Each structure stands twice: as structure tokens, then as C-alpha cells.
Amino acid sequence: GESVGLHLPTLSVQEGDNSIINCAYSNSASDYFIWYKQESGKGPQFIIDIRSNMDKRQGQRVTVLLNKTVKHLSLQIAATQPGDSAVYFCAEASRESGGTSYGKLTFGQGTILTVHP
Amino acid sequence: GAGVSQSPSNKVTEKGKDVELRCDPISGHTALYWYRQSLGQGLEFLIYFQGNSAPDKSGLPSDRFSAERTGGSVSTLTIQRTQQEDSAVYLCASSLYRMMGYTFGSGTRLTVV
């Protein structure tokens, strides 16, 4: 079936370094992608999203890159801080059959980011 | 409310008992979702409500699971005859119609003993 997966289950970086978290997706119909951050004991928190008509989108210290040719998504975090330590999930969605709206999100397994001071 | 509220935050139940988990979405959000997260795993879709449309129940793992949404607001997820494999964190999220990046609650941690 369709799935979204992550290349690296864990990532350790030093404070101040840049972090790159990768994600592969297999549903070619997916046209909306989101990155979430989940801290221990909390629900996932929206970070940034991107639609398939774009290949790059920037937020505050974060950038999402989308390569539709190879079905790859990445999240770049600049000047990583200890507070960025969390599990990061990518998620994808496609428009509901015959419609223009989106339904459920399909999530990857997550990458654990650990930032060392 | 300011965010998505879920209750209880923790629930321990005996195998075979029924449980009800509650979700209060953000006021005005027409879409409501339930997901399940097992320890160290990603999020597994369960059910999705959008306005007055028929819910998408395609993720419910068995007929022991059901959910309803009353008045387009509060939702209850019911698990009948709980099994140990039902132990997980149950997350609820809501979003504005046709707008994604939905907001999650903190979840209900269900432990079946």
C-alpha cells in the first residue's frame, strides 16, 4: 500500500549545527506535505507545509524541500538548538477522490532529533 | 477553546472493559480526526469527520472501535471489549474545512492491563 517513510530513525547534532531530516513517500498522487514536531508527552505540532506546485518553502529557521521526481521531502533546521530535540514526522495527503478537499494525513515513522549543547 | 482538548489524559483499564475517549476540537473547526500512536511508532489514522458528511471510518482496526461527533463539535471514540494491543496514545486533531496543518491535542494514553 501507499506509505510515507523516513531514511534515518535517529539524528544527533551539536547545538548551532544545521540539521537535515529526510522523508520518502510513495504515493504519487500526494500533493500536500507537512512536517510535525512531537515532544515527549505532547501531540504533534505543525512546523511547516508545502504543496506540490512548490519545491521549496522557508519558515523561521526551517526550510522544507520537495523533490517530486524522486518522491523525497526534507526538513532543514538552521542553527539547531536544544529545544529542537524531538521526534519529527513527515505527513502527506492527497485530494479525496472526485473532490477538491483533503482527507486524512498519512504519517511516516518519525526521526528522533537529539541536539547536544 | 484555544486548543484541542482531550480527556482523560491517561486511562488504565482492564482487558474486556469498554472505554470512552473524548475530544473537544478548536471552536469553529469543521474537520476532526482521530489517530492512534503506539510506543515509538508513527501515527495511524482511525477516523475522520468533516462537517455533516459521512465520516471516513476506513482506519478503524475492528468493529470494537467506533466514534461519533455530536453537534459538529465534541467527539467520542469508544473502544469496546478492550484488548492489550489497544494500548496506545489516542490523538485527536481538528482543522478548518479544506485547510490542513491541523492542530493536535495532547492525546489520551490508554493502557489495557
Among partner residues B44, B100, B106, which is closest to A43 by beta-carbon distance? B106
Instruction: Give the separation between CA B37 and CA B105, rounded to whole angstroms.
Output: 13
Query: Confidence class of residue B98 from pLDDT cuts 50, 70 and 90?
Result: low
Does B2 touch chain A if contact means CB atoms closer than 8 Å? no
Instruction: Read off the C-alpha cell for B83.
Output: 484488548
Q: What is the pLDDT of residues A49-97, one digit of tens each?
A: 999 999 999 999 999 999 999 999 999 999 999 999 999 999 998 877 6
- The pLDDT score that the predictor gives to residue A1 is 36
User: What percentage of chain B has pLDDT greater than the value 90?
Assistant: 74
> How confident is the prediction for chain B on average, in pLDDT?
92
- The pLDDT score that the predictor gives to residue A8 is 47
Residue B93 above 70 pLDDT? yes
Specify whether the CB–CB gap between A67 and A78 falls below 8 A.
no
Q: Which residue of A has its CA nearest to B53?
A: A103
- The pLDDT score that the predictor gives to residue A103 is 74
B46-67: average pLDDT: 93
- HSE at residue B57, side-chain half, CA atoms within 13 A, is 13
A30-53: average pLDDT: 93
- The pLDDT score that the predictor gives to residue B70 is 85
- Contacts B105 to A, Cβ<8 Å: 43
Instruction: Give the separation between CA B113 and CA A25, rounded to whole angstroms.
Output: 36
- The pLDDT score that the predictor gives to residue A115 is 97
- The pLDDT score that the predictor gives to residue A4 is 57
Instruction: Read off the C-alpha cell for B38.
Output: 503506539
Does B101 touch chain A if contact means CB atoms closer than 8 Å? yes
Residue A108 above 60 pLDDT? yes
- The pLDDT score that the predictor gives to residue B102 is 84
Residue B80 above 60 pLDDT? yes
Among partner residues B56, B98, B104, which is closest to A43 by beta-carbon distance? B104
Within 10 Å of residue B42's Cβ, how many Cβ atoms?
Answer: 22
- Contacts B104 to A, Cβ<8 Å: 36, 43-45
- Contacts A107 to B, Cβ<8 Å: 35, 42-44
Does B19 touch chain A if contact means CB atoms closer than 8 Å? no
Residue B105 above 70 pLDDT? yes
